[in-house]
Every structure is written in structure tokens, then in C-alpha cells.
Copies of this chain bind each other. A is one copy, B any other.
């Protein structure tokens, strides 16, 4: 069939989708999948295995599920297990309570669109306990991962009407590419503000002011996205920085979108403890606490649990106009409901075993082991990266990634340009082909022009991570030698 015979061609489909990029699953990752298939089919490579450091996918790199979470899920899915003595009573209690909140007592029924009431209550209790301030379950909606919630809120505040001013969304650079992909999809105007790498990726209000000022000709700024702890940058914001952000959004009439999905992933609470934007907002007093519109996002996919496949997430809305909130919830009703077992997962994460319950000790042991392991790998990764010539990497204070700055020789940059690709893409592709290590080039997240980075997760096991770092050191030395 000739190309012109198709109804849908690259020229007739939605141009926003053609433009959209999502680097975390981009060309490097697609090439890594091909390499895996080639290895499987018996082809010889310079490496025996592809190691995927491209995505925050904990279980894929060997982390084991937390027993209690999976026990509750299994019982909800197959209620005859309520009579099985091998399952502990606290898991059964959670499952019974959740099933009583499901229509027909089945996780196979639809829930209401914003999510099962009992689960939203548990989440609300978690938030209340975390921040020491009230939380209302009617302001919480559940979602298929945090991504769906982020997209829904961005859709609400974006306007596709032709002729009207494009809506501007402020996004940190570097950023998690869900935001740039969604802005492409909705044809929103992305206002980039740069995090200051020289100050451990700090968020400076002067940079926010610069960015919004320059963008005002092109759009109507309406929202500011903050990712804390940072992805891909790994910083944890200070309270002072958060207060400045809040004053900034209030001053400029913006909605604050707080991506707080890594709230459990903080490795050095003594220097910068993680605080929720909701808490900081509250502590700033009624002038801010009663007016700034804030959406906070949380996920089942990260933290110590890493249950990505369940697609559990929630969003808490603060100070939203009730009519607007009703419109958002009406919109959500057309997708019926988030996957119910994903709802169960995020609900149980917010209501884990308590002291005195039979599963408490095992739960704490499993949770703390994962977090201690991540902390060790955060340190190992930063130290190794900083020991490489021409590489500097800020401390991984939180989240699951390191985002080192790599100084590439001019000849390598020229070779990349000749190939028609970004220099950091060129570097990452060579690393993949040589060593089977899959990083994501910094250009997929955004970076200061003329600087180059890559993102690696810190997820593979300590021995694997040591090997990755050793292989990287080898490769890096050879790469510099080749292009010097």
C-alpha cells in the first residue's frame, strides 16, 4: 500500500503527538530493547546483559515487593483467602474493610470516579498525620499512577480554544518529561525555569521572575510545576525556597503543582528534611494558606514500595474553587475509575501495619532495608561519578536518580553533530553499544544550553551498581581518549 493511500499519515494526524517526546522511553531505550533481543537470540556482544538505568522501575532491577502490600492485594482479588490461615489478620482486616467499600464487595466493580471512599479516607489520615493539619477526603482523587492525575490537572487549566492566548506552564529544567510531553499534547506554552546546578540544583526565585517575564508576551502563565524531591536532579528543597515559591505563585496568580511522588525517598533528612508544600503553605498563615491553589501528587510507584505496575496514585487539591473541582471530577467520570487494585495499593501504602499488628515487624524490616539500600547506592553513585575526569555530580539527597554534568571533548561534540544527534545522546548511545548500560541523555530532560548530562537511576542492586560504575569509568576513559 502506498503511503498516500492511508487516511492517517504523518501529515494528517494530530501534530501535537508528532511533536511530543518522552525520553525515558525514547530511542536509546528502544535500542536497548533490540540489544536484549539480539543477546537472547545468541548474538555476541561486548557485554552479556543490558542493564537498564533509564527508568525508576524498582522491581525490574530486582527489588522484592513488600509482603504486606501484596497480601492485601491477593486477598482483595481472591476473597476465599480470607479463610486461609497463612495470611495475617491485619492484611485480612485491611482487605475486608476495602471490600466493604466496593460495590458488590468486589474489586471487579467500578468505583466512583474519584476513587473508593474508604481509601480516600485512609489517604486523608496519612496526610493529616504527615503534616499535622486537616485533610478532607472529598478533595482527594485517585488516579492511574500520579501521571494520570498530573495530566488531568494540566488539562483542566489548559485551553485549546483557537484564538485565545496559549496557557503557560512553568516547568523546571531539567524536568521529568511527562511535563514537556503533556504540554506538547495540549499545545500549552512551556515556560522553562532553570534549576541552579552550581547550588545543588536549587530553585531560585530570581530565575522564576526572569522566566515568567520573558514568557508573558507569548502566553498567559497559569501554573508552576515543582518536583520535590527532584527528578532527575535528586535535590530536596529547603523550607525557605518553598516559601519563596509560594510567594511567587501568589504574586503572579499561578496554580502550584507539587510533584511529591518521591516523598519517601529522602536520604539525608538531617541536612534538608522533606516537607510537603501543603505544610509550608499552612505555616505561612492565612494570607497564603487560604488562597494559593495547590495540587499535590503522590504515587505507589516510587518510595520503598516501587509498585509501578499497579498504577496507583492520588492528588490532593487545596483551595480549588468547588465549581472548578466539580468540573475536574466530571471530566474524570468519563474514564469511569482508576484500576481498583491500584487504588487498593496506594490506600494500603497510606495505611501500613501499625505497631502491635502482626505484620508490623516484617513490614518495617522490609521497608527500611530498601531505603537503606537506596541510601547506600545514592552515595556510591555520586562518589564514583565525581571521581571521573570531567564529570561532576551533585549529591543525591532524594528521589532515585543522579544527573551528572559531563564535559565532552570538542571532537566528540563535532562527531555527534555530524551524526545529527545531541552530544549527550551520542555519549549514551556509545555507552549502550559498548557496555550494555542504558542511561537517558540529559537533552531528554532539558539542560542549560551547551551543557551535557545524563540521568541514571540508582536502582540496580549494590553489586550490579558497582559493576555499572566500573564499566562506566572504563568507557568514559576510552571515550575521552578517542575524542581528545
Contact = CB atoms under 8 A, between A and B. Distances in A.
A148 interface: yes
A8 interface: yes
A53 interface: no
A192 interface: no
A337 B25 CA distance: 11
Contacts of A145: 335-336
Given A309-B108, A309-B109, A337-B309, A14 B156 contact: yes
Contacts of A363: none
Contacts of A22: 330, 333-334
Contacts of A77: 70, 73-74, 77, 341
A61 interface: yes
Nearest to A249: B7
Interface string A174-195: 0001100110011100000000
Given A8-B293, A293-B8, A308 B110 contact: yes
Nearest to A222: B7
Nearest to A181: B334
Interface stretch (A129-137, A264-272, A318-326): A318-326
A290 to B, nearest CB: 6
Interface stretch (A159-167, A368-376, A378-386): A159-167
A9 interface: yes
Contacts of A46: none
A64 B108 CA distance: 9
A25 B9 CA distance: 36
A205 interface: no
A450 B477 CA distance: 78
The residue in A7, A24, A330 that gathers the most chain B C-beta atoms within 10 A of its C-beta is A7
A388 interface: no
Contacts of A336: 25, 145, 147, 308, 311
A102 interface: yes
Contact of A57 (B12, B109, B291, B324): B109
Contacts of A222: 7-8, 12
A33 interface: yes
Contacts of A7: 222, 253-255, 293
A15 interface: yes
B335 A20 contact: no
A339 B310 contact: yes
A469 interface: no
A60 B108 CA distance: 8
A144 interface: yes
Interface string A333-362: 111111111100000000000000000000
Contacts of A463: none
Contact of A291 (B5, B25, B112, B319): B5
Contact of A59 (B70, B109, B328): B109
Contacts of A310: 107-108, 339-341
B70 A20 contact: no
A24 B112 CA distance: 12
Interface in A1-29: 1, 3, 5-10, 12-18, 20-22, 24-25
Contacts of A112: 33
The residue in A59, A106, A335, A338 that gathers the most chain B C-beta atoms within 10 A of its C-beta is A106
A108 B65 contact: yes
A139 B412 CA distance: 39
The residue in A113, A144, A320 that gathers the most chain B C-beta atoms within 10 A of its C-beta is A144
A341 B58 CA distance: 17
A63 interface: yes
Nearest to A153: B8
A14 to B, nearest CB: 5
B334 A8 contact: no
B157 A324 contact: no
Contacts of A391: none
Contacts of A443: none
A158 to B, nearest CB: 6
B61 A104 contact: yes
A306 interface: yes
B320 A8 contact: yes
A96 to B, nearest CB: 16
13 contacts: A1-B290, A1-B291, A10-B327, A13-B159, A22-B330, A65-B108, A74-B77, A77-B77, A110-B309, A144-B144, A311-B336, A311-B338, A339-B342
